[in-house]
A and B are shown apart, each in its own frame.
Chain A
Amino acid sequence: MDLRKLFLKANNEPEDSNPMVRSRYINCRGCGKKLSVARVRKNNFVCPECGRYMTVRARRRILMLTDKRSFTELDREMESRNILGFPEYEEKLAAAKEKSREREGVVCGTASIDGHRCAIFAMDANFMMGSMGSVVGEKITRLFEYATVRGLPVIGVTVSGGARMQEGMYSLLQMSKVSAAVRRHSNAGNLYVVLLTDPTTGGVDASFAMQGDITLAEPGARIGFAGPRVIEKSLKQALPKDFQRAERVLSCGFVDAIVPRSEQKAYLAKVLAIHEM
């Protein structure tokens, strides 16, 4: 086996990727320093040396934001199938399942945050880059419908490369499907808080990521519709510094607040509390 390949692959893995083969040390991709996993976890997967935000799996994200043992998962069983018979899609799904240890790219359910009940979803970057196929769209739609019936606020954590090409128009139309469910949830007077994490792009950016009552972002997160390489190529010009980064997107007027990881749970609890008054 080519060890270099193995090394490269390991280095490209999001830090919080596979709990089964996790070693006790990882190298930060920001500063390159060797860090103990325990130390990184205790610091909410932010590098204690350089402050770099590491990728967090959906399930752990929910644990980080909600009260201990309060999470009840919904629609866990749903799995994608190859609707279009798209080449190599089954293999990619199998690899994504293995890598993420999830059945699909979003985890949904109910939980409480400092005692405040809510519905919550978190997307998973380890599942085909958080791309939105029919199952991701369906699970999020069902969550909004569930929350509408019960009058629950929804907390959403997005991370996505966009629509899932392998499902063609079924994938694109999830943008419409989810948007309509978010609208109904809103019409009924319910709160939707969305937390944009790195990266939130494409079809997710152009739908439910931009439909929150309150739009939060993690420091440095890439947020945008088009990929920066597409823009650079078509314009043949260098991009402005911080282009599509949360701080600049806030300056452009599309984000309410940037909230560091260590403060997110308390922030959400405060927002939920104000909406219960």
Chain B
Amino acid sequence: MSAAPRKIGVYVCQCGGNISDYVDVNAVVAAVEHEPGVTVAKTAMFTCSDATQQEIVQDARELGLDGLVVASCSPKLHTYTFRDVARRAGMNPFQYTQVNIREQCSWTHTDDHAGATAKAVRLVRAGINRTRLTEPLEPIVVETTPKSLVVGGGIAGLRAALGLAEVGLAVFLVEKEARLGGWVAGFGDMFPHGRSGAELIAALEAKVRAHPAITVFTNAELTAKSGSFGNYRVTVAVRGERSETIQLVVGSIVVATGFDTYQPAEGEFGYGLDGVVTLPEFKRLLDGTTGPLQYHGRPVETVAYIYCVGSRQSEDAGTGHTYCSRYCCTAAVHAAVKAAVIPAKPHQVHFYRDMRTYGKYELLYAEALATGSVFVKYPDEEPPAVSRDDATGRLTVTARDRLCGGDEVALQADLVVLVTGMVPRANDDLTKALKLPVGTSGFYNEIHPKLRPVETVVDGAYICGACQGPRTSAESVASSLAAVTQSAAVLKRGTAALDPLVAAVDPAACAWCGACETTCPYDAISRVAADGKEIATIARTACKGCGGCVPVCPSGAIDLQGYRDVQVRAMIDGMLEAVTP
């Protein structure tokens, strides 16, 4: 296979000094510009800038480039940018290689400029060697099923189901519990509009139940998923008088399984003492109160709130609850505003760390202040302590007040409310069935918090609501509508395009041993009969291109498109070749 010589363009980025302060980019260009196949090699201040992109397009047109190497930052950042540049320049986007000389050279070897430069030369050479052996690839186009599965029937799931149905997709809603609505269904007045959560959910549920395109399964759980993007086969187990298992085929899966509230341990901030309750417990008490506030038959004259319980814990605690739960400051001041209007208004003292009633919730904080709530700011490293006098039954909260110069203050209270945060729900089976990525805090992870906020690495599986991390209902619904849009964007088109960087079996070489099938984490490999023998076949839409199957094949029958063995070997050769200074 002696092809015409390649015409590769190499662009080495300075990243405005981020790279060029440590890596001698001109030396890199000098070292690689005479490599076989390289037509042009240059440096640029910012390769990703519009001007440089334009320059690449122009070079490609003038010089007839058929391969592109960009040596700049991590491929996580700009793969799609430069694939697009390649496309605009008339090249095949899969004949472009990203080389990371920022994270892997300049930022890592700040103390060794010569070493960083040499390493960059090796990496760029490897990139050129890979590019030289690329073939044009086309995206894999799949037809999609215009149906969607929503897992979780809280406010996020309900709204997503309705949204999907409204854009004309058939929807299956699977809820684990006997009733729909999640947490919000159990709430009375909620911020910011003051409407009852129960009523809100009742209205939403009525619409969902009435919609002909939505099928609701309660007491139901997703137990298995197979198939591939655009056409997932899911198994739903429904409990009840006669338990049954239902098979569905759907184009997308929207996961809205929500959160749990933090459950304090016995003794944590006095939890377990009579009169120490969590915020959800207090909210229930408040929702059921019309007359003067009482707890266990005792009048409540003073309420103490302790914030950040189960949130913003130190790394050293090892609980993983290092994050801010976002909703709780607002929920607590909202509860205080509600408590201030009941007869015999109680005194309310808030022991907080930072007041995070962001955005317009600031108004609620102002209202809490105006209605007499008092705020004591305790130091991060020294949380308040709660004790109870058994004789009087009164609770005492002691804390240091940072706004009093750190002096210790003590408050006698009748009720202590622990403002508990949000924690991830225990949902291991679902996580496993869908192979959803879980972040360090235990919530589901999106691909990119800004640019792809509801997509996951599992194509066609979207996450929304509080299963992604702590958030208010408004934010939960906003993200569920984003998931609707993402689903609709794919499913309404009828087809979807996937990266062709997937594994392929050479039928002549394969003798079906099954090693690859057991290795593949995505169940993409199966056995088929072909030309009188059995061989492995790979579902291109299910393969993620992880490469796991390649080395296990005893016959070397599998190659990864875009990263074929010859390419990888050429890359290694390129790296090992000496660098002459």
Chains A and B come from one and the same complex: no
> B residues near A, CB below 8 A?
none
Binding site for B on A (CB under 8 A): none
